Amino acid sequence: MKGIMLLPLFCHVVSPVKHSLKIFATTSSGVKNFPDYVGVGLVDEVQWGYCDSISKTVEAKQDWSQKMFEDDPQYLEWCTQQCVLDQYDHKAHIDILKQQLNQTEGVHIFQMMNSCEWDDETGEVNGFVQFGYDGEDFIAFDLKTLTWIAPKPQAVITKHKWDRDRAHNERWNYFLTQQFPEFLKKYLDLGKSSLLRTELPSVSLLQKTPSSPVSCHATGFYPYRAMMFWRKDGEELHEDVEHGEILPNHDGSFQMSVDLNLSSVKPEDWRRYECVFHLSGAKNDIITKLDKKVIRTNWGKTGILTLQCLFNCIGMPFMHCECFVLVPVSPSEFPAGPVIGGVVGLLLLLAVCITGVFIWRRRDNGFRPANSSDPSSFEISEVRDAALN
């Protein structure tokens, strides 16, 4: 079968026994100074492998995957061959689509998302493969009928062509439901010391200004199968609540937040609200009471800007940028020189990153253009988050 950087997509459902393997591949046309092809592999949202058209080899991103390749050079060679095959295959798809859509120039992006999810208690396996073109859903595989679904009229020609190739569709079925789950089980066993660990987060209440929503922010947790919500008098709230995405940290852990709009909450009712963090596999939830005394804010204070905040400020007028202060300090204690130097350096780094943001991101099981003001576009690698969150 052509190309194998495949991955499972997961629903926003928390389960203590479900594991996922995902592969994202992005191929571009008309983009200068950037690899024509980039592939990224993840297990339970942790990046384990990377490949691009410049290096033309698979690079291990975890200690366990590095050891896997060292112990089995033939497997590394096989993965590398799949990476190279994907490059030629996807490049051909772009050429075909440009002809079909009468496109002669400009930047064009072709993406593939492969996925497999395995429940280690029930043995249930779910597979998924979807392709996107220029930031929009293009075509997806239906495992039940072994046919292709075309969400746009432009994809109907491709659907009919691929539906006729029954042998190729059978190979997709075998790969997504049998071979891919075996890869997932193998990776979980090899990396069990890190992939199957449980780490609880630190949870903080953050607020930009007295009129801003209060954000309940959890960081440093693992695995990614977690959920967080606000509740009042023991009942989960759905109104005046905004849930953030689960985002990766650079140390392999994760972070997430949920905001509560306080505009309709009376001061005397604050004690009735609390933030609940639930981690899959953990015995107890982390409960944080809504209390003004513990809220961290930069209102009227000087503090250290966070990288997350700087990403949020991309594209905004400088004076309109408000940032959380995670470590409030007094003006006399504030290390102005080092911090200002660091912030300037970070801003320069962001400016460089922005020039290369052409990749398309995936959200809600679909593709959409990347937003340079979205911090998740820059986590782990531009391509990984371009396709993932």
| 248 located within any domain | yes
Mean predicted lDDT score pLDDT of the chain = 79
141-162 per-residue burial string, b: 16 or more CB within 10 A, e: under 16: bebeeeebebeeeebeebbeeb
Question: Of 297, 319, 334, at which residue does a domain stop?
Answer: 297
**Cβ atoms of residues 117 and 8 within 8 Å:** yes
Say yes or no: 188 and 239 in one domain: no
Q: What is the mean pLDDT of residues 128-143?
A: 94
Residue 389: pLDDT over 70: no
The predicted structure's pLDDT at residue 373: 37
- Interval 36-56 mean pLDDT: 94
Q: pLDDT tens for residues 63-83? A: 999 999 999 999 999 999 999
Q: Evaluate whether residue 182 is within a structural domain.
A: yes
- Check pLDDT > 50 for residue 127: yes
Task: Compute the 3-state secondary structure of the chain and give helix, strand, coil in percent, each to the nearest 5.
Answer: 35, 30, 35
More confident position, 339 or 268:
268
List the one residue out of 181, 200, 226, 197 whose CA is nearest residue 62. Answer: 197
**Which of 252 and 242 is assigned the larger pLDDT?**
242
pLDDT by residue (tens digit) across 235-247? 999 999 999 999 9
- Output the pLDDT for position 283: 87
Question: For residues 246 and 320, which has the higher predicted lDDT (pLDDT)?
Answer: 246
285 and 177 fall within a common domain: no
> Are residues 34 and 125 both part of a single domain?
yes
Q: N- to C-terminal Cα distance for the chain?
A: 27
Is the model's pLDDT at 258 over the cut of 60?
yes
332 phi and psi angles, rounded to 5 deg: -70, -25
Per-range mean pLDDT, top range of 313-322, 338-347, 369-378? 338-347
Domain boundary pick from 256, 272, 297? 297
The pLDDT score that the predictor gives to residue 367 is: 61
Does the residue 88 lie in any domain? yes
Q: Which long-range contacts (CB under 8 A, 24 or more apart) does 198-204 make?
A: 198/222, 198/223, 198/279, 198/281, 198/282, 199/253, 200/279, 200/282, 200/286, 201/253, 201/255, 201/277, 201/279, 201/286, 203/275, 203/277, 203/286, 203/288, 204/294, 204/296, 204/326
Q: Tokens 């009471």 correspond to what residue? A: 289
- Mean pLDDT within 114-136: 91
DSSP letter, residue 102: T
Question: What span, in angstroms and rounded, lies between the C-alpha atoms of 74 and 80?
Answer: 10
Check: CB of residue 37 under 8 Å from CB of residue 5: no
Tokens encoding 243: 């849930």
Q: Are 381 and 50 in contact (CB under 8 A)?
A: yes
CATH number, domain of 284, equals 2.60.40.10
Supply the pLDDT for residue 252. 87
Same domain, 183 and 248: no
Indicate if the pLDDT at residue 99 is higher than 50: yes
25 is a domain residue: yes
| Higher pLDDT among residues 303 and 196, named by residue | 196
| Residue 47 banded pLDDT, cuts 50, 70, 90 | very high
* Sign, Cα dihedral of 361, 322, 230, 195: positive
Q: Is the pLDDT of residue 116 over 60?
A: yes
Domain enclosing residue 55, as ranges: 18-195
Q: Is residue 326 part of a domain?
A: no
User: Is the same domain home to 121 and 256?
Assistant: no
In a domain, residue 211? The reply is yes
Q: Are both 153 and 211 inside the same structural domain?
A: no
Average pLDDT rounded to a whole number, residues 87-108: 91
- Residue 35 clears pLDDT 50, i.e. is over it: yes
Same domain for 115 and 95, yes or no, is yes
Whether residue 224 sits in one domain with residue 160: no
211 and 147 belong to one structural domain? no
In terms of domains, do 68 and 124 share one? yes
Cβ distance 109 to 26 under 8 Å?
yes
* pLDDT of residue 350 exceeding 60: no
User: Residue 32: its pLDDT value, please?
Assistant: 87
- Asked if 253 and 222 count as a contact pair (C-beta separation under 8 A), the reply is yes
Q: Is residue 322 part of a domain?
A: no
Q: What is the pLDDT of residue 105?
A: 84
In SS3 terms, 315-383 reads as CCCHHHCCCCCCCCECHHHCCHHHHHHHHHHHHHHHHHHHHCCCCEEEECCEEEECCCCCHHHHCCCHH
Q: Are 158 and 94 in contact (CB under 8 A)?
A: no
Q: Which of 101-105, 145-149, 192-196, 363-367 has the lowest mean pLDDT?
A: 363-367
pTM value? 0.69
pLDDT digits (tens, 9 = 90+) for 205-220: 999 998 899 999 999 9
Q: Is residue 127 part of a domain?
A: yes
Mean pLDDT in residue range 357-383: 42
Token pair of 303, please?
């503090």
* Burial tier of 237 (Cβ tally within 10 Å: 0-12, 13-18, 19+): middle
The Cα–Cα gap between 224 and 255 comes to 8
Say if residue 315's pLDDT is above 80. no
Q: Which candidate, 356, 130, 365, places its Cα nearest to that of 378?
A: 356
H-state helical runs in the chain: 63-71, 73-100, 156-164, 166-174, 180-190, 192-195, 307-312, 336-355, 382-387
Radius of gyration of the chain (CA): 23
Domains of the chain: total: 2
Closest CA to 262 of 242, 244, 240: 240
CATH of the domain at 108: 3.30.500.10
Task: Tell me the CA distances in angstroms from 47 to 22, 62, 109, 295, 305, one per residue in order.
Answer: 9, 8, 22, 33, 27
DSSP class of 268: G
Amino acid 280: pLDDT: 87
Among residues 180, 195, 210, which one ends one of the domains? 195
Q: Taking 50 as the threshold, does the pLDDT of residue 285 lie above it?
A: yes
58 and 168 co-located in one domain: yes
User: 267 with 230, same domain?
Assistant: yes
Residues 11, 15, 16, 19, CA torsion sign: negative
pLDDT band, residue 160 (cuts 50/70/90): very high
pLDDT of 303 reads: 43
Phi then psi dihedrals of residue 66, to 5 deg = -65, -45
Residue with the bigger pLDDT between 61 and 339: it is: 61
Whether the pLDDT of residue 322 is over 50: the answer is no
pLDDT at 60 over 60: yes
Residue 282's pLDDT is 86
In this prediction, residue 62 carries a pLDDT of: 95
Residue closest to 288 by CA, chosen among 220, 358, 218, 336: 218
